[in-house]
């Protein structure tokens, strides 16, 4: 080999070393500049031996510790999940108001019974108005809270849709950057900036959903990444189109769906285990609906407690007309569910009985006068369809009063001006259907009215005739994440309620594969999912309507029995104080009807406050409150149930906040450790700076030495 060629090789080696050192110094400079940039991964120079001798730059990449990166991504997803849930629960709790404020929901509930206690102690017109106002404000508050909770669900829907848009954009960005990183890596170009941009997108994506990320090869790579779901399903990667997500709200479902690379649309379901989307879906599909359903139950139980008291008493003087509420079933079918005895009396302005009709539902008779004239409203006591009840009652009341039916609403009226109607159960064998007296069942003396089915104690039994023999219901069996496990469409044809329950429980045409329907002693129809399934029952559509004895009420099956959780939750918006009492607070039911009073004396007394006492103590009366939301059925008082609900709200908000704080601390620690491993370490950069400076200096001296040798050689030749 000639001396000239040897010197040329030395110059090449020195030049490559100089170039490599310059590149290293530039990367060190970039790293130091970004020492405080969040999420920045330090650039590293990979060197390679050149065939011509010397050293070259193989590639410049961002450092990635895959283990710490995955730990950080998982912690971020968990923190975002709990954070979203905590925010939603806190906002839901705020809708109820500050418990220490007199305007809060629970304070207003207490105000209702405080007002009645004060009225019972000192009955005055002003006190009557105050009691009506307190009750009106409470039910208006319940409606407002319910609307706020519905607004939270709408807001969650909007946020989920926005997050889905961001997820799709981030997946597209990651996919595009994969292509750019790969192309520049092949060319030997610096991919650090692209990798840091991609790393930022991946971190942002992990705030929306939990993901797994694998690098192309090794811990330092220039071939992009593959992003996968929790089970390993690819969402994007090198050379494939990214997955596309959607938020589906069709047919009563609220679930995340996606089209994986090269696949077809399908529910994302259990693949989503973290991130803001998981938190929002959990809040939207489970947490907020549970709160809304418990709110509705507190409101309905309050109405029922007040109505139990009011229907056991009468205003003085007695109202000339008592008009009930619209029922889910026709009046004859409702009458057929009753046992026991009740009395309907027409009294004059002084409260003296003019006519008294004693109704024995077991015997199917109405007795009037002494000696009694007995009227039969059934062919025999076993008749289950007493279609003649209203007409027979009219006959029994004679000229003194009348009964009428409009749709499924029963009304009782006194005929003569100044007369009124009172109702009183037999003290030994009181009337009962679904745990309610005759008056309360029909809502004849209600203090609180409702424009929707207020309670689901229908009184119907297995042998009761079914009014649902047409139409169809689409049931959705839904997992906690909103994914539909099954959809069952059922067309009821059974002629009895027992047959209807059997049809619902069919493993072929009903829902028997997923749970069991049961009818309790009060006529409440409920669905219990199979143990461990965690399924909830939703209703996609219901075109059924109760129709029997020539009357169609228009009430669908799922509304009559409260099987549609969305409709059941909206009950909180449907209650109000009886409009007649709002117009005239003196109609508050203050007196006990004493039909055992001496003939010719008043059976209701103006000074009697027993009705007011009953209204003031209604929150303490023990009753069976059905399951609602996450609360199980309980036999307790309204005050205890409401207190438990208030406490649960506070505990849920506190627990969610604690979980969020802990998860955020874990995410911060994981991020710090990742930054420590992959970020800029000034000590390391100082070492690299010194190394590259020395390398640069050595290469420069080698060039200087080679140049001197060239000069010496040339001088010898000359």
The answer to whether the beta carbons of residues 398 and 414 sit under 8 Å apart is: no
Question: Is residue 34 domain-shared with residue 178, that is, in the same domain?
Answer: no
pLDDT score at 632: 87
Q: Judge whether 356 lies within some domain.
A: no
pLDDT score at 220: 36
Question: Is residue 31 domain-shared with residue 92, that is, in the same domain?
Answer: no
Please provide the distance, in angstroms rounded to a whole number, between the alpha carbons at the two ends of the chain. 22
Question: Is residue 12 domain-shared with residue 117, that is, in the same domain?
Answer: no
Q: Judge whether 610 lies within some domain.
A: no
pLDDT single digits (tens) 1-14: 455 457 666 766 76
Distances (CA, A) of 473 to 488, 530, 609: 8, 21, 48
The answer to whether the beta carbons of residues 251 and 239 sit under 8 Å apart is: no
Q: Judge whether 451 lies within some domain.
A: no
Q: Token pair of 20, please?
A: 């490599």
Question: Is residue 75 domain-shared with residue 153, that is, in the same domain?
Answer: yes
pLDDT score at 307: 97
- DSSP string for 359-410: EETTTTEEEETTTTEEEESSSSTT-S--TTHHHHHHHHHTTSEEEEEETTEE
Question: Is residue 90 domain-shared with residue 216, that is, in the same domain?
Answer: yes
Q: Judge whether 461 lies within some domain.
A: no
The answer to whether the beta carbons of residues 563 and 524 sit under 8 Å apart is: no
Among 509, 540, 561, residue at a domain's last position = 561
Question: Is residue 233 domain-shared with residue 110, that is, in the same domain?
Answer: yes
**Structural domain harbouring 536:** 473-561
pLDDT score at 86: 96
pLDDT score at 699: 65
Measured CA to CA, the distance from residue 192 to residue 180 in angstroms comes to 11
pLDDT score at 380: 41
Low-confidence ranges of the chain (pLDDT < 70): 1-5, 7-9, 11-12, 14-31, 33-48, 50-66, 188, 216-223, 251, 379-387, 674-689, 692-696, 698-700, 702, 706, 711, 718
Q: Judge whether 571 lies within some domain.
A: no
Q: Judge whether 396 lies within some domain.
A: no
pLDDT single digits (tens) 180-227: 888 887 776 777 778 878 888 999 999 999 999 987 643 334 567 999
Specify the DSSP class assigned to residue 604: S
Question: Is residue 14 domain-shared with residue 51, that is, in the same domain?
Answer: yes
Measured CA to CA, the distance from residue 334 to residue 439 in angstroms comes to 12
Whether the ω angle into residue 317 lies within 30 degrees of 0, i.e. cis, is yes
Among 521, 537, 561, residue at a domain's last position = 561
Number of neighbours of residue 428 by Cβ within 10 angstroms:
7
Question: Is residue 39 domain-shared with residue 134, that is, in the same domain?
Answer: no
Measured CA to CA, the distance from residue 483 to residue 255 in angstroms comes to 6
Question: Is residue 240 domain-shared with residue 262, that is, in the same domain?
Answer: yes
Measured CA to CA, the distance from residue 198 to residue 207 in angstroms comes to 15
Question: Is residue 20 domain-shared with residue 137, that is, in the same domain?
Answer: no
- How would you classify residue 102: left for phi > 0, otherwise alpha for psi between -120 and 50, otherwise beta? alpha
Domains contained in the chain, number: 3
Question: Is residue 540 domain-shared with residue 683, that is, in the same domain?
Answer: no
Question: Is residue 525 domain-shared with residue 641, that is, in the same domain?
Answer: no
- How would you classify residue 218: left for phi > 0, otherwise alpha for psi between -120 and 50, otherwise beta? left
pLDDT score at 59: 57
Taking the C-alpha atoms of 618, 619, 623 and 626 in order, what is their torsion angle to the nearest 10 degrees?
130
Q: Residue 718: helix, strand or coil by DSSP?
A: coil
pLDDT score at 1: 46
Q: What is the pTM of this model?
A: 0.86
Distances (CA, A) of 488 to 56, 506, 695: 68, 11, 75
Measured CA to CA, the distance from residue 670 to residue 585 in angstroms comes to 65
């Amino acid at each position: 080999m000639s001396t000239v060629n040897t010197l040329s090789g030395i110059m090449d080696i020195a030049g490559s070393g100089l170039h490599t050192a310059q590149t290293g110094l530039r990367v060190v400079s970039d790293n130091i500049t970004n020492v405080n940039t969040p999420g920045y991964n330090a650039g590293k120079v990979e060197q390679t031996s050149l065939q011509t001798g010397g050293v070259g730059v193989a590639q410049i990449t961002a450092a990635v510790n895959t283990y710490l990166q995955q730990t950080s991504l998982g912690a971020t997803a968990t923190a975002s999940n709990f954070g979203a849930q905590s925010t939603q629960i806190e906002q839901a709790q705020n809708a109820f108001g500050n418990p220490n404020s007199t305007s809060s929901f629970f304070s207003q509930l207490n105000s209702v019974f405080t007002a009645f206690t004060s009225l019972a102690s000192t009955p005055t017109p002003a006190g009557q108005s105050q009691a009506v106002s307190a009750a009106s404000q409470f039910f208006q508050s319940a409606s407002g809270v319910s609307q706020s909770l519905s607004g939270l669900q709408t807001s969650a829907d909007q946020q989920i849709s926005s997050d889905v848009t961001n997820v799709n954009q981030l997946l597209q960005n990651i996919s595009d950057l994969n292509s750019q990183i790969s192309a520049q890596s092949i060319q030997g170009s610096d991919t650090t900036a692209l990798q840091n941009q991609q790393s930022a997108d991946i971190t942002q994506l992990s705030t929306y959903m939990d993901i797994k990320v694998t690098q192309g090869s090794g811990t330092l790579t220039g071939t992009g990444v593959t992003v996968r779901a929790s089970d390993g399903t690819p969402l994007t990667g090198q050379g494939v189109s990214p997955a596309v997500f959607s938020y589906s709200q069709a047919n009563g479902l609220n679930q995340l769906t996606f089209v994986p690379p090269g696949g077809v649309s399908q529910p994302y379901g259990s693949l989503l285990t973290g991130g803001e989307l998981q938190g929002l879906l959990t809040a939207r599909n489970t947490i907020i609906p549970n709160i809304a359903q418990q709110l509705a139950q507190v409101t309905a139980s309050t109405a029922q407690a007040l109505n139990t008291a009011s229907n056991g008493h009468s205003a003085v003087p007695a109202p000339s007309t008592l008009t009930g509420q619209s029922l889910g079933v026709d009046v004859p079918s409702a009458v057929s569910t009753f046992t026991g005895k009740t009395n309907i009396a027409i009294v004059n302005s002084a409260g003296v009985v003019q006519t008294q009709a004693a109704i024995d539902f077991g015997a199917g008779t109405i007795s009037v006068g002494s000696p009694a004239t007995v009227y039969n409203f059934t062919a025999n006591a076993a008749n289950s369809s007493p279609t003649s009840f209203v007409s027979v009652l009219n006959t029994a009341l004679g000229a003194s009063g009348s009964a009428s039916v409009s749709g499924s609403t029963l009304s009782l009226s006194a005929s003569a001006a100044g007369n009124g109607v009172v109702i009183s159960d037999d003290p030994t064998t009181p009337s009962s259907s679904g745990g309610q007296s005759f008056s309360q069942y029909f809502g004849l003396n209600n203090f609180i009215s409702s424009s929707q089915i207020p309670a689901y104690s229908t009184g119907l039994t297995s042998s009761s005739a079914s009014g649902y023999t047409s139409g169809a219901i689409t049931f959705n069996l839904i997992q906690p994440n909103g994914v539909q496990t099954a959809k069952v469409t059922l067309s009821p044809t059974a002629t009895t309620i027992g047959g209807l329950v059997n049809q619902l429980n069919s493993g072929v045409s009903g829902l028997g594969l997923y749970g069991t329907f049961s009818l309790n002693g009060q006529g409440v129809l409920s669905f219990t999912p199979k143990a461990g399934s965690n399924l909830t029952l939703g209703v996609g559509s219901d075109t059924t309507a109760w129709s029997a004895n020539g009357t169609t009420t228009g009430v669908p099956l799922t509304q009559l029995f409260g099987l549609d959780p969305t409709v059941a939750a909206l009950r909180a918006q449907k209650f109000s104080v009886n409009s007649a009492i709002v117009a005239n607070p003196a109609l508050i039911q203050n007196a006990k009807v004493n039909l055992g009073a001496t003939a010719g004396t008043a059976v209701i007394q103006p000074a009697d406050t027993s009705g007011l006492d009953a209204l003031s103590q209604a929150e303490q009366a023990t009753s069976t409150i059905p399951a609602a939301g996450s609360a199980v059925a309980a036999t307790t008082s309204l005050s205890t149930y409401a207190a438990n609900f208030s406490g649960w709200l506070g505990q849920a908000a506190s627990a969610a906040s604690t979980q969020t704080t802990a998860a955020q601390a874990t995410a911060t620690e994981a991020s710090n450790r990742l930054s420590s491993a992959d970020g800029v370490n000034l000590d390391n950069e100082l070492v690299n700076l010194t190394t590259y400076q020395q390398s640069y200096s050595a290469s420069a001296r080698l060039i200087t030495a080679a140049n001197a040798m060239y000069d010496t050689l040339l001088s010898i030749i000359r």
